[in-house]
Chain A
């Protein structure tokens, strides 16, 4: 019995001995669970802002924050104090209700994802999860979709043409990248046989990143695009649209928008760990599964920070072309290939993920490798065609210019 379940059981017994009714105990425990989940997410956000600034600094050959606290560890607290004491400037003509509820709804949608992520195993008191929904995967996507409406409200409520322009672009990007995200989760649900996040962790006899790595790549890339991080951060880059849809927000409202974005990115990392890296389970540290789970989530978030520090930004038309001409066809082909190979394996050789995990994993890995190589080969062929066409055009143009003179 791990420490968290023991504390929960002891608290329930204490409340029962104090004479509270059953339903009141359930209500109190549920409220406490939600409060703890929210607090964990917000503390993680604090830590992640510091981590990102230090790591980006190191990647850019500088130190990052060093003044506040020993290695700048108190920097998020300094940021919080500054944010709390700044004045909230409401633009003239802004729609007050919508202006204020946009960032709040965005933060709510980002935090809502943590309700279904399992943090630990079932040690007699139920799995360590907010609520074990049997449609956890779809719920996660729905929470992201609710955040898009919040983006619209934030951009529109600012009474600023640049904010509205930024909103248009943001929504176009966000709803486009939902499609490969959904399709990759469809492949996972097919292989795991369930949409319940708790059961998906149990169904991974071999971590799904190995037999389903094209799916994992698709989900990671579309997750990065969904949370608006670099290299997809056209929506709020200073050199592009001057902070985009949150240009008119200051102080606490801006902090809410930043919080929503970081927590969304952290939620994507948690989902990647749960669905592809076997959640709290592999390799197993007895008794402290939630800590190990959080370490893995931070490792995946490190990859997101790495993307930010390394890759240049996409243009909006490049981003849309990448999604609709590469990711969506690849995601569709991926669903078909995964379904066919999984079924063929189980019919022909009786290898399923349950009976023969590593053999099944190897064959699926080979199928995924073939698919990825075919996709990349096709892309490089098209790239070569485009390059030759451009070279041809440049040659003919310079020939015309030479003879025309």
Chain B
């Protein structure tokens, strides 16, 4: 067990346990904090696999923006302070069936994927991986189209959000 494998196992355990606690915590705010821990665990996994930029961006965007907005939404929900809410509503049986189907699909996909042989060393990332990533995002033969479309999508969401949340003047 090399050090990299040891760290991988440790951070995977942290992520999995935090993810489990997100859905089983009774207090909604605690669930949000467990979510922050799960996202931090994923960032640590990126760092273990030598993807430094992805780890930093994961913390910056997921924890620094998305988790904060989730917590805002939770805090602005009325009645959230009562810790003893019913955990299951009338959709729970349908939800169980859908989760089971999703589990089967995901397990099939994982089994069918051509993974590397277990125990083989990980491939070394290129020395200038950040430069390669940057060039790949703007290269017309590679990923410029998805990149630009994602930007347009974000712009549309931003404008839509501002439009939906604008102040209504009297009479509207």
Q: Which residues of A contact B (CB under 8 A)?
A: 23, 95, 97-98, 133-135, 138-139, 141-146, 148-149, 152-153, 156, 164, 168, 171, 175, 178, 195
Is B65 an interface residue when CB atoms closer than 8 A count as contact?
yes
Instruction: Decide: A148 and B68 in contact? CB cutoff 8 A.
Output: yes
CB distance from A98 to the nearest CB of B (A): 7
Is B17 an interface residue when CB atoms closer than 8 A count as contact?
no
The interface residues of chain A lying within 8 Å CB-to-CB of B53 are 134-135, 138
CA distance A2 to B68 in the complex (A): 44
7 residue pairs, one from A and one from B, having the closest CB atoms:
A145-B64, A142-B59, A138-B56, A142-B60, A135-B53, A142-B56, A139-B56
The interface residues of chain A lying within 8 Å CB-to-CB of B16 are none
Most chain B beta carbons < 10 A, residue from A142, A148, A178: A142
Instruction: Decide: B33 and A195 in contact? CB cutoff 8 A.
Output: no
Instruction: Decide: B29 and A146 in contact? CB cutoff 8 A.
Output: no
Closest to A178 in B: B64
Instruction: Decide: A148 and B64 in contact? CB cutoff 8 A.
Output: yes
Range class of the B interface residue count: 20 to 34
Is B22 an interface residue when CB atoms closer than 8 A count as contact?
no
**Contact sample, A vs B, 25 pairs, CB 8 Å cutoff:** A23-B3, A98-B29, A98-B33, A135-B53, A135-B56, A138-B53, A138-B56, A139-B56, A142-B56, A142-B57, A142-B64, A144-B64, A145-B59, A145-B60, A145-B65, A146-B40, A149-B36, A149-B63, A149-B64, A149-B71, A152-B68, A153-B33, A168-B75, A171-B68, A175-B64
The interface residues of chain B lying within 8 Å CB-to-CB of A134 are 52-53, 130
The interface residues of chain B lying within 8 Å CB-to-CB of A168 are 72, 75
Contact of A149 among B3, B57, B67, B130 (CB under 8 A): B67
A156 in contact with B75 given A141-B60, A142-B64 (CB within 8 Å): yes
CA distance A97 to B34 in the complex (A): 12
Instruction: Decide: A135 and B3 in contact? CB cutoff 8 A.
Output: no
Instruction: Decide: B75 and A145 in contact? CB cutoff 8 A.
Output: no
The interface residues of chain A lying within 8 Å CB-to-CB of B57 are 138, 142
CB distance from B64 to the nearest CB of A (A): 2
The interface residues of chain A lying within 8 Å CB-to-CB of B3 are 23
The interface residues of chain A lying within 8 Å CB-to-CB of B59 are 142-143, 145-146
Q: Could you tell me which residues of chain B, from 45 to 68, have a CB within 8 Å of some CB in chain A? A: 52-53, 56-57, 59-60, 63-65, 67-68
CB distance from B27 to the nearest CB of A (A): 8
Contact of B75 among A143, A149, A164 (CB under 8 A): A164
The interface residues of chain A lying within 8 Å CB-to-CB of B29 are 95, 98, 156
Please, what's the 1-or-0 string for B13-32, where 1 marks a CB less than 8 Å from any CB in chain A? 00000000000000101100
CB distance from A81 to the nearest CB of B (A): 33
CA distance A133 to B46 in the complex (A): 14
Contact of A138 among B60, B63, B75 (CB under 8 A): B60
Instruction: Decide: A171 and B33 in contact? CB cutoff 8 A.
Output: no
A146 in contact with B52 given A23-B3, A134-B130, A153-B33 (CB within 8 Å): no
Instruction: Decide: B64 and A135 in contact? CB cutoff 8 A.
Output: no
A135 in contact with B52 given A152-B71, A156-B75, A171-B68 (CB within 8 Å): yes
With A134-B53, A145-B65, A168-B72 given, can you name 14 additional A-B contacts, CB distance below 8 Å?
A: A98-B29, A135-B53, A141-B56, A141-B64, A143-B59, A146-B63, A146-B64, A148-B64, A153-B33, A156-B71, A168-B75, A175-B65, A175-B68, A178-B64
CA distance A98 to B33 in the complex (A): 9
CA distance A145 to B40 in the complex (A): 12
Closest to A97 in B: B30
Closest to A159 in B: B81
CA distance A135 to B57 in the complex (A): 10
CA distance A323 to B128 in the complex (A): 35
CB distance from B151 to the nearest CB of A (A): 14
The interface residues of chain A lying within 8 Å CB-to-CB of B27 are 95
Closest to B64 in A: A145
CA distance A134 to B56 in the complex (A): 11
CB distance from B33 to the nearest CB of A (A): 7
Closest to A93 in B: B81
CA distance A321 to B52 in the complex (A): 35
The interface residues of chain A lying within 8 Å CB-to-CB of B65 are 145, 175
